[in-house]
Structure 1
Amino acid sequence: MPSLKQVGALPLRKAPKNTIEVLLVSSRDTGRWVIPKGWPSKRMTDSAAAAREARQEAGVTGKIAKEPYGSYRYRKIEKENVRLIEVTVYLLWVKKEKKQWKEKAQRNRVWFDIETASRKVREPKLRALILALADA
């Protein structure tokens, strides 16, 4: 089955002792931990679309990378359909966390250290992308 394309932001911040923390959000349907992601836009670059998703789903803004950090695939289950989605991931260094944002009532957001964040996500390739941050 051909895969559809999405863009995602991997929100990061520097933590004490110069470590990195990763922001994950809960999905609306199952509550599992994911990164903010959504459909690309014809009116904006993929990195800008990823930043838009982070703003809408996690209420964070900052400096988004122009080049992709990597990608992963997941299966999107919709009623009777299962679609394969390929997500191109962009790093987002968070500068501001809003108290109110578009999807606050539908999602939780939590900062995790790299190791914990990698264990929270289900997709193996996303887990690998998060773990690779420890070497960055």
Structure 2
Amino acid sequence: MAPLISGRAKFSGGSDRFLSELASHADALFHGPIYEQYAAICYRKHPDLGAAQVLIVTSRESGRWIVPKGWPIKGKKPHEVAAIEAFEEAGVRGKIKKKPLGYFTYLKQLVDGNRVPCVVQLHLLEVEKICENFPERGQRRIEWVSFIEAASRVREPELKGLFLIADRKLRRTKAKK
């Protein structure tokens, strides 16, 4: 998969370290199994700001900024898994798109210390409800930020680009209305 960032915007946010780390695991990327996960870009339309905001969460282990994501669930479609993860990790519910916005890759650190390559299918979720109680409450930090701010905080270059693509897509949708 080609990186999705145009030459116009540069957000380092650890991307150089991430790419070096990814390169050092090239053998696993090309010869080992690749795991799938499903994720959601959760957004809300902010009535006062006029622009949409996106929800980012921290991972439980490293504390880095990510989007809600998880492993496949038997009997559930990818977009359904993404919606479940959004609720479990961030306490949000809403309308999720069935069609993926895109994909990004990262190295998942397993409990045994090994790192495995993951390809994450990403879906847009328009938040309609924010719940006070949810399974991982208190285990993560949660923030609503602009898409540009979200892109600057995450490490994965492809995810940075997907935040910008989502922002443009939502602005075009708003302009059509």
Normalised-by-shorter TM-score class: over 0.9
Q: Aligned partner of 1:25: which letter?
A: V
- Preserved contact between residue 54 and residue 144 of structure 2 (Cα < 8 Å): yes
- Separation in 1 of the partners of 2:113 and 2:134? 31
TM-score when scaled to structure 1? 0.95
Structure with more of its chain in strand, by fraction: 1
> Percent of pairs identical after alignment?
39
- Separation in 1 of the partners of 2:160 and 2:43? 15
Question: Which residue of 1 is the match for residue 37 of structure 2?
Answer: 6
Question: Which residue of 2 is the match for residue 125 of structure 1?
Answer: 158
Question: Which residue of 2 is the match for residue 33 of structure 1?
Answer: 65
Deviation per CA, 1:73-123: give whole Å up to 9, x if none. 000122331100000000000000111111012111100001101001110
- Separation in 1 of the partners of 2:50 and 2:113? 46
Q: How many residues align?
A: 136
Query: Which of 82, 85, 96 is the aligned partner of 2:129?
Result: 96
Deviation at 1:63, TM superposition (A): 0.1
Counterpart secondary structure, 1:2: coil
Question: Which residue of 2 is the match for residue 22 of structure 1?
Answer: 54
Q: Aligned partner of 2:40: which letter?
A: A
Deviation at 1:41, TM superposition (A): 1.6
Q: Which runs of 5+ in 1 are unaligned?
A: none
Larger Rg: 2
TM-score when scaled to structure 2? 0.74
- Separation in 2 of the partners of 1:38 and 1:133? 20
2:115 counterpart of 1:116: no
RMSD of aligned alpha carbons: 1.1
Structure with more of its chain in helix, by fraction: 2
- Preserved contact between residue 41 and residue 124 of structure 2 (Cα < 8 Å): yes
2:105 counterpart of 1:105: no
Deviation per CA, 1:18-46: give whole Å up to 9, x if none. 31111001100011110000011221111
Q: Runs of at least 4 residues of structure 1 off by over 6 A?
A: none
